[in-house]
Chains A and B, each alone.
Chain A
């Protein structure tokens, strides 16, 4: 497959054990620059474990990660971030008491280094934040607004802006629309598309078929810790993907979940 050879981030033969439990069994994964990949699966299918391995929070028990053609080992999320792999958390993981611009640069403040301390260049940070938000077409009243005053969609936008502030190559999003009001979902999905146009590889974990079918290029399903199915979006249907989540292959109108839709 052409995509596979151009893969930016790849996982091969990944196993993850937690004591006696095998959370992932021989899982293969790949995503290319400018590709939006949807990852689906039921609770306990291994989606989060796989994402935590990709973002450096867990080390795989077996198997290799390949980034940009080279095998990599992440000791911590910081290592993954340094390579340009960022995670957007379901609860956004923002400090509500701090303004937008400080959240975007939290832990990576621009300024003059002085020993272990950075004297923050607040003008520069504000300017960089405003320009970055502009680039992503995110509109806020002011970068000085505390995050706690923002709506769910705006918070998600700030979380995405933080993830992409430093030349991110891969952005992993855990349920990016789960905490949003319906009218805000579209904006966030458009934001994901704009990341794609900037050449970022985006991985979306979602339960919402609408999100997957609006934003993704490809969808892969995990089932009980294994690769279950995978397809370009154009070659599949909602019902088929829902079937994958439940561990059934082949379109079967007789299944109850088909009737719900």
Chain B
């Protein structure tokens, strides 16, 4: 049915927004004194800004039917490296660049490992770098956090703009704007540029991309570099928010990033997904955690619920796809 397909496409694009609105209404109804307050809402943003950046990078990788397990380790390495540089008196503009730069280097290692060594699956390569990069992080810090950062370095992670609308310390966090700028940039890149479309093409049919003259290996290296870049940027944000670099940061956060991407409707088999969906996936995870917290539900339940949401989200996608195919 044509109507059926149109409905299915509408739901694919905007259904997730409806889910978010319902969640927010439910949370407002259960905790009217806490949830809708600006302090709580901006708190959700601050707590999940790093996850949002990681998820954006993970999204690009998942579109190629790949996976990057190393993002949590890369984020931690970027974080401690810039904290050490800051401690040792490196000027702040350089310190800020160190985070993303380390991300780019780690991403290039992942991409080159995958394509030059021809490892059978990115899972292997990035599982390896997950351990190696985490190990380096412990090595250079001796396992101890490095605290105290210059205010300029902390800016992106902790600045607030009140715009004269909010009474300080309330305000919209700089990290929110960074995430929005990154998301808009990535959206443009993925939908409007040749390289972005080649990334989708590789996820859809790598052979088709190859015979169309696309250098698939080179594109894959770019993809892991982009993912690494976002992981490094996430490290900069987290360092700013926590005023330190701690080597235990982001253990297991790669799974949150994957969860956000999948909840956001991207296909694990590549070729499908949107930036809007990824952000929505992050918001859903953030709302879930916040909602359970403010309703005094045990953190253990959060894990159970997020797990169930992943299964439910993908199951809904399976149903939707069945409805779209049946004519």
CA distance A147 to B155 in the complex (A): 46
Q: When A81-B213, A89-B211, A122-B192 are in contact, do A109 and B205 touch as well, CB less than 8 Å?
A: no
Q: Quick one: closest A residue to B203, CB to CB?
A: A97
Tell me which residues across on chain A come within 8 A of B200, comparing CB atoms: 95, 97-98
- The docked-state distance in angstroms from the alpha carbon of A10 to that of B193 is 38
B201 at the interface (CB under 8 A from A): yes
Whether the pair B205, A107 counts as a contact (CB closer than 8 A) is: no
Is A107 within 8 A of B204, CB to CB? no
Residue A106 lies at the interface, judged by CB distance under 8 Å to chain B: yes
Q: A77, A78, A95: which contacts B209 (Cβ < 8 A)?
A: A95
- Over the window 201-233 of chain B, the binary record of Cβ atoms lying under 8 Å from chain A Cβ atoms (1 yes, 0 no) is 101110111011110000000000000000000
Q: Is the CB of A93 within 8 A of B208?
A: yes
Residues in A with CB closer than 8 Å to B208 are 92-95, 103, 106
Interface centre among B193, B207, B208, B272 (most CB of A within 10 A): B208
A235 to chain B, nearest CB (A): 36
Closest Cβ of chain A: how far from B62's Cβ, in Å? 13
Decide: A107 near B193, CB < 8 A? Known: A95-B204, A97-B200. no
Interface residues as binary, A151-193 with B (CB distance below 8 Å gives 1, 0 otherwise)? 0000000000010000000000000000000000000000000
| Selected contact of A77 from candidates B201, B213, B271, B272, CB within 8 Å | B213
B195 within 8 Å of A (CB atoms): yes
Q: Chain B interface: which size bin?
A: 20 to 34
A1 at the B interface (CB under 8 A): no
Q: In the complex, which residues of chain A have a beta carbon less than 8 angstroms from the beta carbon of B211?
A: 77, 87, 89, 93
B204 — which chain A residues lie within 8 A by C-beta?
A: 95-98
Q: In the complex the two chains form, is A118's CB within 8 Å of B209's CB? A: no
Residues of A within 8 A of B195 (CB): 116-117
Whether, in the assembled complex, B46 has its beta carbon less than 8 Å from a beta carbon of chain A, the answer is no
Which residues 197-254 in A have Cβ within 8 Å of B in the complex?
A: none
**How many angstroms from the CA of A107 to the CA of B199 in the assembled complex?**
11
Q: Provided the pairs A87-B211, A89-B211, A107-B214 are in contact, do residues A97 and B271 lie with their beta carbons within 8 angstroms?
A: yes
Known A97-B203, A97-B204, A97-B271: A117·B193 in contact at CB below 8 Å? yes
A95 to B63 CA separation, bound complex (whole angstroms): 13
Residue B289 at the chain A interface, CB threshold 8 Å: no
A35 an interface residue at 8 Å Cβ cutoff? no
Contact between A111 and B205 (Cβ–Cβ < 8 Å)? no
Chain B residues contacting A92 (CB-CB under 8 Å) are 208
Nearest CB in chain A to that of B213: its residue: A107
- Report the nearest A residue to B206, measured CB to CB: A95
Chain A 66-88, CB within 8 Å of chain B: the 1/0 string? Answer: 00000000000110010000010
- Interchain CB contact under 8 A, B203 and A78: no
Q: Are B209 and A106 in contact (CB under 8 A)?
A: yes
Complex partner residue of A107 from B203, B207, B212, B272, CB under 8 angstroms = B212
Give, as a whole number of angstroms, the nearest-CB distance from B279 to chain A. 21
- A120 sits at the interface (CB 8 A): yes
B134 at the interface (CB under 8 A from A): no
Is B296 part of the contact surface with A, judged by Cβ < 8 Å?
no
A60 to chain B, nearest CB (A): 20
Residues 180-208 of chain B, each 1 if its beta carbon lies under 8 Å from chain A, else 0: 00000000000011110110110111011
Q: Which residues of B contact A119 (CB under 8 A)?
A: 192-193
**Given the complex, which residues of B lie within 8 Å of A102, measured CB to CB?**
197, 201
Minimum distance in angstroms from B5 CB to a CB of chain A: 8
Check B194 against A95 for contact (C-beta < 8 Å). Answer: no
**A118–B271 CA distance with the chains assembled, in angstroms:** 20
Residues on B with C-beta less than 8 A from A111 are: 194
- In contact, A93 and B205 (Cβ under 8 angstroms): yes
Which of B204, B207, B209 lies at the interface centre, i.e. has the most chain A CB atoms within 10 A of its CB?
Answer: B204
Known A77-B213, A98-B200, A106-B212; judge A118-B205 contact (CB<8 A).
no
Which of A87, A116, A120 contacts B192, CB < 8 Å?
A: A120
Cβ contacts under 8 Å, B198 to chain A = 106-107
Chain B 16-30 near chain A by CB (<8 Å), digits 1 or 0: 000000000000000
- Point out the residue from B192, B193, B205, B213 that lies within 8 Å of A95, measured CB to CB: B205
Structural contact, A106 and B201, CB atoms closer than 8 A? yes
Compute how far the CA of A122 lies from the CA of B197 in the bound complex, rounded to whole angstroms: 12
Give the distance in Å from the alpha carbon of A81 to the alpha carbon of B214 in the complex.
13
Q: How far is the CA of A255 from the CA of B203 in the complex (A)?
A: 49
Q: A108: CB under 8 A from chain B? A: yes
A93-B211, A106-B214, A108-B213 known; A117+B272 contact, CB < 8 A: no
Residue of B nearest to A95 (CB): B204
Known: A106-B201, A116-B195. 17 other contacts (CB 8 A): A77-B213, A81-B213, A89-B207, A93-B205, A93-B211, A94-B208, A95-B204, A95-B205, A96-B205, A97-B200, A106-B214, A107-B209, A107-B213, A109-B197, A117-B193, A118-B193, A120-B192
Give 15 CB contacts A-B under 8 Å: A78-B213, A91-B207, A93-B211, A94-B205, A95-B205, A96-B205, A97-B272, A98-B197, A98-B200, A106-B201, A106-B212, A107-B198, A109-B194, A119-B192, A120-B193
